[in-house]
Chain A
Amino acid sequence: MTTLANPSLDTPSPRPPRSRNFWKKQALSYLVILPTLLIFAVMTFGPILTTIVYSFQEVNLTRASEWVGLHNYVRMFGNPLFYTAWKNIAVFLIISILMGFMVPVFLALMVNELRHFGRFFQTIVYLPSLIPIAVALLVWRQIYAPDGGVLNSLLNSIGLPAQLWLQNPDLAKPAIVVIMTWLGAGGSVLIYLSALQEIPTEIYEAAELDGFSPWQRIWYITLPLISSRMQIMLLLQIIVVGQVFTEPFILTTGGPANSTVTPVLELYRTAFERSDFGLASAWSVSLLVVLSLFSIVYVRLSLGRESIQY
């Protein structure tokens, strides 16, 4: 096997050493981006800090709020729905990784292998991402409809019994994961495609000369070369699925039998249906803590990609 360092792919170019003149040279640049940085900080960290403060208060929207210590957290941990929601997220994650993680990889490999119409299929794959999510979900509601739905009609036509896709607590989660995968695959495919197209063709040519079959090429060359991208996509998937809201909000209202209640859905209801912003903020903080852990790993992985040796 050839050993090669591929500077164009996953290895960042070495950073130039900071000279004494660094700040002198860069000061103007930093000054120029300072307003944007400030706005970004206010818009991003402002709400986060406010949420943390709210989580220790009984929030009143029109009058001064009262400090209540850990009361909101006691209520949150005392609510059985807290555990249900996080358990649901764990199951969503497992299903989405099992069912959905490899889908964009396969799609990207297929599109990449196409000699003709590659761009066309790339567009087709990305199309779901362009449809407004509420519209897409209404279409999926018709697909999953128990009576006369597209999916059940198909099942009936091949002699299989109709299913209650969104009304059966055992089926609702996988049914929603299918939609999430359909909606999200397009973006991931583009990212994988860009990674695939960065792989120098010489490697494949060498492999072909060595007598590699297409599967061997994918297994020994392609997948290792995009593996760091896959790690990052996996983390992104965890972060996105951890915040799932729109699908259960529009399709199932958290049901059936609370099987699709998620932390974001419950914090939305707590805040906006029950005007209990303190408790909702405690839920937000729980989400912040969990997702921050994954985000830290994500940032470390993105920054610390190591060169790959072959």
Chain B
Amino acid sequence: MRSKLFVLSTLVLLVTLVLSACGSSATTEAAPEVATEAPEVEETTAPVEEPADEGPLPAVIAFPAEIAGGSPVEITVVQKPADSQPEAVEAWEAQVARFQEMYPNVTITGTDYAYTPDSFAALVAGNQVPTLFEVYLTDPGKMIEQGVAADLTSIFEAQNLDQVFNPDIMSIATQDGRVYGIPRFAYAMGLAYNISMLNAAGYDAPPATWEELAVMAQALTDRDAGVAGFSFITDGSGAAGWHMTTIAYNFGLLNTDIVRQSDTGYAAGFSEGPMLEALQFVYDLRWTYDVLPRENLNWGTNGEALATGRAAMVVMAGDQFTWIRQTYPDAPIDDYGFAPLPAGPNGTSVSLVGGNIAMVSAQATPEQVEAAVYWRLFTQFDPDEIVANFESGASNPTVVVGAPTLPLYVGDYEAALEALQAQYANLPVANYQLFLDAISSGQASMQPEPLIAGQDFYSALGAVVSTVVNDQSADPAAILLQTADTFQTNVLDQLR
């Protein structure tokens, strides 16, 4: 057992090192060197804690001696666990207490609000945006443009944070050289599969191509038992568009082609070509191969289908394994593997990359901005906090370590963090090796989400997916063309 753990840790460490060297392939820039020592700012701001010389993680933040000059400051922050998870709430409150030991003048009120574009618009309209909030990777641009997010550049510069975070993700939180967000996590889409089901059907590996997937899914589909061979989100919402985009990336769609930017404006570029091929394939999955669930699944029910054995192969982001573990603690988690998505017609597998970015309300005072940012950095970088969180996994079932996500940081910090994660992993990390290897070797390339009106695009495409999988008489080409036209008029022509 010990040797297995050692091999596992070594593998993850190796993957991490390779990943760190590659960065994520969305841009070609090399990842800059990481500040492994405390940055210069430490000399001017007396740190509260001495950075540990030989700790499990390098100390990258020099926490200031005081925040807001010691005057009282109140902030509201997201990510407080829901009351239904008492252990997690207790851990969160203990963490707040530790932060307040350092900064007694800061009062933190937590909310379990989870970002969705629709609910957030209501918060903006009602002037109720929490001081610290989080948005999807598609949305920082919108937040900055609407003046909802505060400028965090001065703190980032003081702490040299631009050298710690994965530059690909940082670029999404940056506009005109100003930083507006703190990356929280990043995922890449893959294919989750039920190892036992595949073995029982005579397959010892997940499909390498989409054609193979269709054939395998047919063998795995068992209508009498309510088992679908393959599943992805088809509920007609923006999430369905998100999954459809992921599939279309594998058919050759480029995120920069979805909306083409020119001097004269924006043009929808998804009405034909790879998107149409992918849509036609989805149509065939439903009406020729008949391998999709009868029900139109959403994010939760799609994950649930895997967790409850009602789907054999599922398009999923790696971080959803955490949700499965938390939501279905009795599900046979060791039975699920994670692989890169099957390769498309041109032979490559492409993974859509997304995630969350923390932002601070533009309505916050400079003192609140400072408190909110340091609170976020405290939970994200304080070595003791990270270790305490991992260790609480023993008694807190909601602490899940080891989901196959993407490196959020670069260099030594990332390497050390992942080594630590491997040590505390309570997910079967070895089952995700196909995915991690494919990402680190470049066999699966990565593409960011569409950044121009991304959520609007997902929303429009979601309705197309709903039509194609529910209406046999639907003509994918005609629907896609009409949707692109409407998207052009109603969304793109409105952009400035």
Query: Which residues on A are within 8 Å of B, measured CB to CB?
Result: 58, 60-63, 75, 78-81, 145-148, 164, 166-169, 252-258, 261, 268-269, 271-277, 279
Contacts and interface: CB of A to CB of B under 8 A. Distances in A.
Interface stretch (B171-179, B180-188, B266-274, B485-493): B485-493
A169 B298 CA distance: 18
A78 B490 CA distance: 9
Given A254-B236, A256-B296, A276-B490, 5 more contacts: A167-B294, A253-B298, A256-B471, A273-B118, A274-B456
Given A146-B295, A168-B470, A254 B463 contact: yes
A60 B146 CA distance: 7
Interface string B19-58: 0000000000000000000000000000000000000000
Contacts of A80: 482, 486
Give 6 closest A-B pairs by Cβ, nearest first. A256-B470, A146-B294, A255-B466, A255-B236, A272-B118, A147-B226
30 contacts: A58-B494, A62-B147, A63-B147, A78-B489, A78-B490, A79-B490, A145-B295, A146-B293, A146-B294, A146-B295, A147-B294, A147-B295, A166-B296, A167-B470, A252-B236, A253-B236, A253-B237, A253-B298, A253-B462, A254-B463, A255-B235, A255-B296, A256-B471, A258-B463, A273-B118, A273-B121, A274-B455, A274-B456, A276-B494, A279-B490
B122 interface: yes
Interface residues of B, number: 41
B299 to A, nearest CB: 12
Contacts of A258: 463, 466-467
B3 interface: no
Contact of B466 (A256, A273, A275): A256
Interface string B316-330: 000000000000000
A272 B237 CA distance: 13
Interface string B234-247: 01111000000000
Contact of A272 (B121, B295, B490): B121
B401 to A, nearest CB: 32
Main secondary structure of the interface of A (DSSP, over half): loop
Nearest to B482: A80
A58 B146 CA distance: 13
B98 interface: no
Contact of A273 (B117, B298, B494): B117
Q: Which of A60, A61, A271 has the most CB of B within 10 A?
A: A61
Nearest to B227: A147
Contacts of B346: none
B459 A273 contact: yes
Contacts of A167: 294-296, 470
Given A62-B124, A79-B489, A168-B470, A273 B226 contact: no
Contacts of B223: 147
A2 B362 CA distance: 76
Nearest to B485: A80
Contacts of B121: 61, 271-273, 275
A142 to B, nearest CB: 11
Contact of B486 (A79, A254, A271): A79
B119 interface: yes
Q: Which of B223, B294, B474 has the most CB of A within 10 A?
A: B294
Interface in B95-151: 117-119, 121-122, 124-125, 142, 146-148
B65 to A, nearest CB: 34
A75 B474 contact: no
B470 A257 contact: yes
Contacts of B494: 58, 75, 276
B489 A169 contact: no
Contact of B226 (A75, A148, A271): A148
A143 to B, nearest CB: 13
Contacts of A269: 118, 459
Nearest to A59: B125
Nearest to B493: A75
Interface string B69-100: 00000000000000000000000000000000
A61 B470 contact: no
B238 to A, nearest CB: 7
B34 to A, nearest CB: 36
A120 B197 CA distance: 51
A147 B125 CA distance: 41
A274 B455 CA distance: 7
A287 to B, nearest CB: 18
Nearest to B238: A273
A308 to B, nearest CB: 48
A166 to B, nearest CB: 8
A254 B294 contact: no
B466 A257 contact: yes
A257 B467 CA distance: 4
A167 B293 CA distance: 11
A261 B119 CA distance: 20
B118 A256 contact: no
Contacts of A169: 470-471
Interface string B278-310: 000000000000000111101000000000001
Contact of A274 (B122, B146, B491): B491
Contacts of B226: 147-148
Contacts of A254: 236, 463, 466
A268 B456 CA distance: 13
B221 to A, nearest CB: 11
A72 to B, nearest CB: 10
A145 B146 CA distance: 41
Contacts of B310: 147
Interface string B457-483: 001001100110111001000000010
